[in-house]
Structure formats: C-alpha cells, structure tokens
Structure 1
Amino acid sequence: MTEKTLVLIKPDAVERNLIGRILVEYERNDLKVLDMKLMKASIDLAEKHYAEHNGKPFFNRLVTYLTRSPIVALVLEGENAISRVRALNGTTDPETSKDNTIRALYGLSLSENTVHASDSKESAGRERSIWFAKNYS
C-alpha cells in the first residue's frame, strides 16, 4: 500500500553535511520525495512535534536540540513507506541499530540520532500537518 510519511533530518546531520547521503538512502530504496524544506524550527513547532512527551524530564532537551540549528523536513511516499523508513533509519539508539541503517552509519548518540520518522499513519498525518501547510492525504 502506498503511504506518505514525514521524516526530519535533524540538526546534528545537517551540521555535518549529511543531507545528501541520507536522501540517497531513501531514494535508492524506492521512496519518492514529495516535498522538502530546509528550515530553522521554531520552539512552537518543536513543542507541537514533541507534544506527546510534554511533561517528561527530557521534553525541554528535545525541543532545544531540534531548534538549535536548521533541519530538513521531508514528505516521502512509497509502498509501506512508514515501516520501510523506520527500518532504514534503524533504532533510536545508534549503538543498537542494525549495520548500514542511517542511525548506525551517521547517528552520534541516543539524543543526537540524525533522523526522525513517523511511527504510524496517525502520527504521519499529524506530523505532516505540523511541518507542511499542504495536505498530503
């Protein structure tokens, strides 16, 4: 089933000039870029993105990290895009990610793990509406 998902290339990856390398991984795995923008996330956008973590001890750290320098927001489309992107990204902790996943290759730590991807259709819809004005239903 063709799906659309949201990916964020996070500040640590943008700072290290990894945008192109990460995009190649998605495209060579038959995922199509429908929209993309380089931007500096506002505190408001970061708080909306991480709303499910509001009140947790690490919430402010997440917001600070996402807003420290530019990110790249992407809408990707493809067969089973949500699960495929999450598999390509690897686990949240680069130390435990499978070899050759994006996080294993480029992630620095659990907190600086290079990329974010939506974890469900519901999250993908909610997150796309935060980062992009256009409706990708």
Structure 2
Amino acid sequence: MLTITQDLYDRIVAHAREDHPDEACGVVAGPVGSGRPERFIPMLNAARSPTFYEFDSGDLLKLYREMDDRDEEPVIIYHSHTATEAHPSRTDITYANEPGAHYVLVSTADTDDAGPFQFRSFRIVAGEVTEEEVAVVESY
C-alpha cells in the first residue's frame, strides 16, 4: 500500500493538470529504507509529448546524486496519461527500473480543472505489474 500526504497527492495532480496535454513526470523522494514519500520533485518531460514521457538524462543524473547526498531514494515515480486510463503501458513497464518504488499514474483524459481524474499506484518488478491501494493522510 502507498501512504501519501494530501499535500503530496495534490501536488502530483496539480503537476499533471499543469502539463496537460503533455505527460507530466517526477519523483517523490524519501529517506532510504523508510518507504515514506516526503520531497516532491517535479521533472521536465524531455519528450514533451502527450503520449510518452522521458526524464532528461542530465537532470536524472543530478537528481540521483542529490538523493544520494541526502540519503534519499525514489519512493514514488509518477507520470500522467493524457488520453488513456491510469494504468502502466507496455513502455512504462519496460522502463520501470526501481523495484522498490511506487509507480503512480494520474490520468487527465476527459478532465477539466475540477476533475474527474484517476490516481493509481502500482508496483512494477521484473515486468510484473501489481496495483496497490492508496491511502491519503493529512500527515505521517
């Protein structure tokens, strides 16, 4: 199960809406081994595409060095789908390389500023996708 604060949940959704019609992407880092998402890090979709996202390799290298310096790891890796449901695509599954992370997808398909939208979390390990429950809390 993914437990996330309302603030982080709202920030991920806001980023997805802001970047629409392109896919948004980012990371929420947390202390190594804690499984607790804490630091919201919106990233630029280098592909600038409504159907695909890609982290800029330089930005990603910088982020991983920064997380290492802060004793953090990626707890959530998120992106949006702008025309389909919030479920990992074959491409998403292929590129999922953090087996300990929660892969959050937000669908902005058929939405307006007020919603509705889908917010779902998955574990992706060795190509196997498992949806998990999301618990939104005020604080940890």
TM-score by length of 1: 0.29
Greater strand share, structure number: 2
Which structure features the higher share of helix residues?
A: 1
Higher relative contact order (Cα pairs below 8 Å, separated by 6+ residues): 1
